[in-house]
Chain A
Amino acid sequence: MITVKNLTKVFEDKKRGRIVAVDNISFEVNRGEIFGLLGLNGAGKTTTLRLLATILKPTSGTASLDGLDVVKSPEKAKAKLGFLTGATGLYARLQAREMIRYFGLLYGMSEADADKRTDELIAIFNLKDFAAVKCDKLSSGNKQKVSIARTMVHDPEVIILDEPTVGLDVITSRAVVNFVNDEKKRGKAIIFSTHVMHEAEKLCDRIGIIHYGKIIAVGTPDELKTITRCNDMDDVFVKLVEDNGNVS
């Protein structure tokens, strides 16, 4: 499970001064739950996710992944995490299979285990014909599949997916969504971030809306609809964001 407690991140920018990108955020994601994190561009979403992935260090507050503190034991916490964002690219000159296997090894697998797991993932994601293709020669759909396979190589307890379906065709996009649902059934704690509201509504058990670095609402899709008295998820989001427009 994921526990986020009073997480805050301040950037010192020479031109713009002090920027509070993440402002005292707290939330929890349980096992077998998909938590949607929604927000406008620049709302602090990516920073929050990077803090959870220990790529950035929080200014104050902390978070834990499967009971491991991201500040105190970042390497151990990372070993529990599968992390995919638009900024986690593939090594262009590695073949799809080499890419997945490399990360298997980095997560501490033996060569034999990494080979086995790579074959498994190649089968799951239907990548057999592309296993020996260099990553920069793959179609964007297959690239995303390889990225997800890379994310899942160590069968993590905690999964963070930032816009995993962006730019994908309907079939691939549906395959990704189905995969995320399967992982949920296997008891994983998942954070799923997207700009597509109806996708969030369909997939997520609970949704948190982040705005100006703060979580302004948390609840099931139905709860959020009730609070805002809107029926459409897009309207729900817009209303919440507009009502909190003057937060900072």
Chain B
Amino acid sequence: MFRNIKIIYRKELVDVIRDRRTIISMIVVPILIFPLLTIGFSGVMANLMQKSAAEKHKIAVINKDDAPDLYALIDSSSKVEIVSTDISVDSAKQAILDKLIRAAIIIPDDFSKKLANGETTSVQILYDASETKSDFALEKVKDLVTGYKLGILNSLLADRGVDPSLLEPFSVAETNVASKEKMGGLILSIFLPYIIILLSMLGAMYTAIDLTAGEKERGTLETILVSPVPRWQLATGKFLTILTTSVVSTSLAIISMSATMLYGMQSFGRMGEDMAINITPLMILIILLMMIPTACLFSALLMSIAIFAKSYKEAQSYLSPLMTIVILPALVAFLPGVELDLKLAFIPIVNICLCIKESLMGHINWIYVAIIFITTFIYASFAIFVTHRMFQKESVLFRS
């Protein structure tokens, strides 16, 4: 009995590994996906930030004659470039929308006079919040105007013989008590559940199709059904092969992700300095306890669907939508305030995501771990049972 399963498992593994597509989906993609995403994303972000910060944004100043001091201050700034001063408010708005300028400052009538008389007045800044560059311009202009305001305030106070430090009787300082490891755990807890859910599914998908619908398409299903191996053993051998590829891709992705974080922290910029990744044996145990039943569940689920299809293409069209469906519960787990409780512990995928997330943050609740491990295994067993039933059904194996 186990001999047959072993023979089938060994053959299927050899068969699947000889296919370049499996190697790509099982080994290459899981290893590369995280480093590439990290390097790509943080690289592009840093680049954009730097460029925007360095760029001299073009702005307009309307009614500059009523605020010659402020105008001089802005004009002398290296961060913005005044390109127009004789423009109407409406055309300034249009110019911002047309990206000719990034922001416009509207100085009210008699600004200087009102200031001298101690009357309150307001400066308006026009910008386009849907444009990142305009946002940057707003920040720069605001800084300049606020700086000007503080200067006036200080000189007013000085005129009246008041110490400007009176304005700030005390200061507020923040200290992050979370250890570097905890900060690292936060980042891990964001990515790891997705990786486990997505990769255990992606890793199983290709093999599941190849070993079921692929066999129908290549006309080898009948060959193997003629052999004296009971069908449940055949299904089990195939299931174990799919499970193997699923676990291998997920593990590779986790290892690659941890390595990226350990050695590529600098790409996270300032945040990276406050973080450290410390993977303890306990964390590995939890990850394994969550990953193995998840991989079982997906392997059996994908297999029972793929066996239904007549061809590779048909199987793909059944399984691809599943990706989107599965990612939804994973997203729910990341809604703010969603915490693991007895009810959520029974909802598949959501429970796995929450448990990994909370465990990585240091809240390990072994009762929930046990509940989730067992329930996921029960769901997986049910899926395996369905798969075995499918392998007995003529209408599934010989669908025409």
Contact = CB atoms under 8 A, between A and B. Distances in A.
A89 B226 contact: no
A244 B7 CA distance: 48
B223 A93 contact: no
Given A56-B398, A94-B14, A107 B228 contact: yes
Nearest to A76: B228
Given A53-B226, A81-B226, A83-B226, A102 B219 contact: no
Of A53, A76, A93, the most chain B CB neighbours within 10 A belong to: A93
A205 B362 CA distance: 79
Given A56-B398, A91-B220, A92-B218, A102 B226 contact: no
Contacts of A81: 226
Of A89, A94, A106, A108, the most chain B CB neighbours within 10 A belong to: A106
B223 A78 contact: no
B210 to A, nearest CB: 10
Interface string A205-222: 000000000000000000
Interface string A90-111: 1111100010001101111000
B227 interface: yes
Interface string B292-336: 000000000000000000000000000000000000000000000
Given A57-B394, A102-B7, A106-B7, A91 B228 contact: no
A56 B223 CA distance: 13
Interface in A67-92: 75-76, 78-79, 81, 83, 85, 87-92
B139 interface: no
B219 A89 contact: yes
A70 to B, nearest CB: 12
A96 to B, nearest CB: 14
A78 B15 CA distance: 24
A230 interface: no
B19 interface: yes
Nearest to B18: A93
Interface residues of B, number: 23
B228 A78 contact: yes
Nearest to B4: A106
Interface residues of A, number: 29
A89 B394 contact: no
Given A94-B11, A94-B15, A108 B228 contact: yes
B6 to A, nearest CB: 10
What is the interface of chain B mostly: helix, strand, loop, or mixed? helix
Given A93-B15, A105-B7, A55 B222 contact: yes
B4 A91 contact: no
B220 A89 contact: yes
B225 interface: yes
A81 B223 CA distance: 12
Interface string A183-201: 0000000000000000000
A15 B127 CA distance: 65
A78 B226 contact: yes
A108 B226 CA distance: 14
Contacts of A85: 222
Contacts of B229: 75, 106
Contact of A87 (B18, B219, B230): B219
Contacts of B227: 78, 103, 106-107
Contacts of B8: 106
Of A79, A89, A90, the most chain B CB neighbours within 10 A belong to: A89
A145 interface: no
Given A53-B225, A91-B223, 8 more contacts: A55-B226, A88-B220, A91-B15, A93-B19, A94-B14, A102-B11, A103-B227, A107-B227
Interface of A: 50, 53, 55-57, 75-76, 78-79, 81, 83, 85, 87-94, 98, 102-103, 105-108, 134, 150
Interface of B: 4, 7-8, 11, 14-15, 18-19, 218-220, 222-230, 394, 397-398
17 contacts: A53-B225, A55-B225, A78-B227, A79-B228, A87-B222, A88-B223, A88-B226, A89-B218, A89-B223, A91-B11, A91-B15, A91-B223, A94-B11, A103-B227, A105-B7, A106-B224, A107-B228
